[in-house]
Structure 1
Amino acid sequence: MSVRHLATIVVGFLVAGAGGGLLWERLSDPTAGLTYQDQWYVEPAGPDVAFQSVAMFVLVAFPIGLVLAVLAGLWRDGETATVVTVLVAATAAGLVMYAVGSSLGPPDPQALAAGSPDYTPLPGHLGLTAPDRGRTPWMSTALVAFPAGAMTGLVGMYLFGAEGLARRSRG
């Protein structure tokens, strides 16, 4: 296994993470909300409304990780190095995906609500948690979607790929 091959895997995952962030931002509809007494509230209220951007993140990240890991698994030398590299690169790609998507999305509505007149409509920030006050928008298990997809693809490739589970002749 060459360092060049491993670096190609890392760069591929990071570029795909940036592209996934762009796609996540384009496909997600910002949560609608209103200001009231210098606070921003989701309108209509409910967890299903706030969950949309999290679900879209998972729906974009998991398949991208899966496909890239299948491609990385095509090389059959240095499986251990490939597994470690794919896991680290997929984790970093998930973080890049979040950073790109959230930076392209609308700004934090809680900050904009301070000083805004009551009942001003503001779009919600693109985050991975409910848009409640005091919540950190990136602290979510949704960040595991990219590495989970990658590990699924890599394990599937190693088990069921062209050389995986090959039957030996019995006679």
Structure 2
Amino acid sequence: MSAAMDDVTGAGTGGRLVRRVLAVLALFVAGGAAGGVLWERLWDAPTGVAFKGRWYLEPAGPDLSFESIALFVVIAFPLGLVLGVLAGLWRGRETVTLVAVLVASGVAAAVMYGVGSALGPPDPQALAAGRPDYTTLPGDLGLTAPDEGRVTWHATALVALPAGAMAGLVCCYLLPDWGFARRSRG
């Protein structure tokens, strides 16, 4: 069998590398989706009121608008840590695993945000436009304060999952072997 055929069928080194990268990506995407569901389930939507076509948080305060961001970080960092350790247990080709974890953890953070915000309530600013004044509306699940002109996903909180994944991977690679490696038979 030729080397090109080995790569296509997955029998060669290239096929194993592609399978590893895809397995890491699938692990992180599934973890990110589960994290997004958990983020939405644990979050309590703050309420606000519509006034002159705009939505205002009521009562106003940074603690209410920060709750979803803090919850995202509290879920994302440990999730990334666990996923990084799981990826790090797969010995050999550590450089490929490192790059795969770095890319996959960024994708997982975006998936976590996307799933959580899709399951959460809709944008209250859009709902407030057609409502009478003082109508109570729930806030949306985002990573920034509900201020005018803010994009809900522009936040450094998205770095929490990749930071946790890199910490988990570093722990696997730098700490002593925990008995998961193959033993010598000779």
TM over 0.5: yes
Q: Paired residue for 2:95, among 80, 86, 89?
A: 80
Q: Distance in 2 between matches of 1:35 and 1:95?
A: 30
DSSP 3-state at the match of 1:51? helix
Paired-residue identity, %: 61
Equivalent positions of 1:92-107 (< 5 A) are: 92-107=107-122
Where structure 1 has 5 or more consecutive residues not aligned to the other structure, the ranges are 164-171
- Give 3-state SS (helix, strand or coil) of 1:59's partner: helix
Displacement of 1:134 after TM fit?
Answer: 1.3
Mark the CA change 1:161 to 1:103 in structure 2 (over 3 Å): closer, same or farther: farther
| RMSD (Å), alpha carbons | 1.1
Q: TM-score, normalised by structure 1?
A: 0.92
| Aligned equivalent of 2:35 | 20
Structure 2: gaps (5+ residues)? 1-15, 179-186
Give the match for residue 128 of structure 2: 113
The residue matched to 1:41 in structure 2 has which SS? strand
Do the aligned partners of 2:20 and 2:97 also contact (CA within 8 Å) in 1?
A: no
Q: Say which SS state the counterpart of residue 35 (structure 1) adopts.
A: strand
> Which position in structure 2 is the counterpart of 1:137?
152
Give the C-alpha shift of residue 156 in structure 1. 1.2
Partner residue in 2 for 1:55: 70
Runs of 4+ off more than 4 Å: none
Q: What code does the residue aligned with 1:140 have?
A: A
Q: Does 1:7 align with 2:34?
A: no
Contact 2:109 2:158 in 1 (8 A): yes
What one-letter code is carried by the residue in structure 2 that aligns with 1:35?
A: A
Amino acid at match of 2:98: V
Distance 1:74 1:34 in 2: 50
Residues matched between the structures, number: 163
1:71 aligns with 2:86: yes
Change over 3 Å in CA distance of 1:140–1:112 after alignment to 2? same
Letter in 2 for 1:159: L
- Alpha-carbon distance, 1:132 to partner: 1.1
Q: Which protein has the larger Cα radius of gyration, Structure 1 or Structure 2?
A: 2
Distance (whole Å) between structure 2 residues aligned to residue 68 and residue 50 of structure 1: 28
Per the TM alignment, residue 115 of structure 1 is displaced from its structure 2 partner at its CA by 2.0
